[in-house]
Amino acid sequence: MNTNVLIIGLGLIGGSLSLALQRNPDIKIYGYDQDEQSLMMAKKLGVIHEIVNHPKEAANCSDYIVFATPVNITIELMKDLPKWNVSNTTVITDTGSTKKLIMKQAEQLINEGYQFIGGHPMAGSHKSGVAAAKAHLFENAFYVLTPHPATKPACLSKLESLLAPTKGKLVKLTAEEHDQMTAVVSHFPHLIAASLVRQLKEKNKVSPMTKHLAAGGFRDITRIASSNPVMWRDITLQNRDKLIGMLEDWQEEMETVKNLLMHPDPERIEEFFSAAKKFRDDLPVNTSGAVYTEYDLYVDIPDYPGVISEITGYLAKDEISITNLRIIETRTDVFGVLVISFQTPKDRERGEACIKTYTTFDTYIS
């Protein structure tokens, strides 16, 4: 007997979730997207089994409904859901990157007898859209669930069982905890990265060479500033209260740094950097976090014609996929290197082993 799942929103996240769930052969996926081209492509690529032209066409026969749409759209759809003839045994969830507004809207559904549990798979990719969907996107990534206090344990267990094929690390948090934590490790860093880039832009007007020097380490630490501006506009507005608190804490931290500079004490300054280095070095390296990252491998290569194609040839021979490739000339902490980006820690590990098998080049993980 099939388990019917309706996924609303067939972008990278919705599409990847659909592919992951299909690892369970008993799952049948109904898909809806307001963009007809994405909908048709999802069917053509096998991301979904059946197309629906409106969510209500499959809502009444679905065991699960997943809103894989931006938070603002999800909220509007949640308001409309009571018109869809949804069973009170159907488990409803979402994939939104902020949870407070979602769970506030869910209160009304829960009071009316619907089973809603918030969700947020903390994974991403350098690509977007259903064509970039991958079944393994959520593997080893944290998948946060935000059940309501009134959520029945059996309902939560059902959702956890459904999501098991994603191979994500399921964790339970309150909406408040989720939004606070993601503000610290995801939303706030995006603000800082964007601010650093804006500052570079202004300085570059005076010293145009600055932009070229930023091609190395600066580009690495501000990579997330290249994320979708519309998405980050919405996230910033939705989690603004937490971000304001983070900014106030940051301003205090900057005052501490300013004080270090105004009253220079070599030991205190070294301790400032040492403490940060120690904590950063202890962060997990083989687990996906709240900020999407490519997993970089630095290769110290000799300067001769064809060396890059040689390395990529070895990786291709071992069927190891890469997401990006670039040469860094301006880093001071890693010597003149080729940077190869992988989508997963496992791919990076295989890539490093491959290069060490076929070459004598030194490799580094920063």
Sign of CA dihedral 240, 244, 249, 250: positive
Where, residue-wise, is CATH 3.30.70.260 in the chain?
A: 295-364
User: What single-letter amino acid sits at 235?
Assistant: I
Topology adopted by domain 178-281: 6-phosphogluconate dehydrogenase C-terminal fold (1.10.3660)
Q: Residue 126 corresponds to which tokens in the numbers above?
A: 């350098």
Out of 1.20.140.10, 3.30.1330.60, 3.40.50.12170, 3.40.50.720, which CATH number does the structure's domain 3-173 have? 3.40.50.720
pLDDT class for 171, splitting at 50, 70, 90?
very high
- Residue 123's pLDDT is what? 84
CA gyration radius for the chain?
23
**CB of 345 closer than 8 Å to CB of 294:** no
At position 42, the amino acid (one-letter code) is A
Each residue of 293-310: pLDDT tens digit?
Answer: 668 888 888 878 888 899
The tens digit of pLDDT for each residue in 237-263 reads: 999 999 999 999 999 999 999 999 999
Q: Work out the pLDDT band at 13, boundaries 50, 70, 90.
A: very high
pLDDT at residue 151 in the model: 93
The arrangement of secondary structure in 295-364, i.e. its CATH architecture, is 2-Layer Sandwich (3.30)
pTM score: 0.77
- CA-nearest of 40, 77, 75, 28 to 56 is 77
Alpha-carbon span 14 to 69, nearest angstrom: 8
Q: Token digits for 189?
A: 């860093």
- The SS3 call for residue 67 is strand
Residues with Cβ within 8 Å of residue 194, at least 6 apart in sequence: 225, 232
Q: In 3-state terms, what secondary structure has residue 282?
A: coil
Considering the chain, tell me which residue range(s) the CATH 1.10.3660.10 domain(s) occupy: 178-281
pLDDT at 245: 94
The 91-94 sheet, strands edge to edge: 50-51, 27-32, 3-8, 64-67, 91-94, 115-121, 142-147, 169-172
- Alpha helix locations (H) across the chain? 12-21, 36-44, 56-59, 71-80, 100-111, 153-163, 175-182, 188-206, 209-213, 217-221, 229-238, 240-262, 266-281, 307-317, 345-358
- Other beta carbons within 10 Å of 38: 20
Q: What is the pLDDT of residue 292?
A: 56
Confidence of residue 365 (pLDDT cuts 50, 70, 90): confident
Measured CA to CA in angstroms, residue 27 lies from 4, 200, 266 at distances of 6, 50, 62
Tokens representing 298? 């630095």
In angstroms, the CA 62 to CA 86 distance is 8
Q: Tell me: the pLDDT tens digits for 191-242?
A: 999 999 999 999 999 998 888 888 767 887 888 888 888 888 999 999 999 9
The residue type at 267? E
Q: Tell me, what amino acid is at 211?
A: K
Region 316-342: what's the mean pLDDT? 75
CB atoms within 10 A of CB 322: 18
- CATH 3.40.50.720 in the chain, residue ranges: 3-173
pLDDT of residue 218: 83
Q: Which residue has the higher pLDDT, 86 or 140?
A: 86
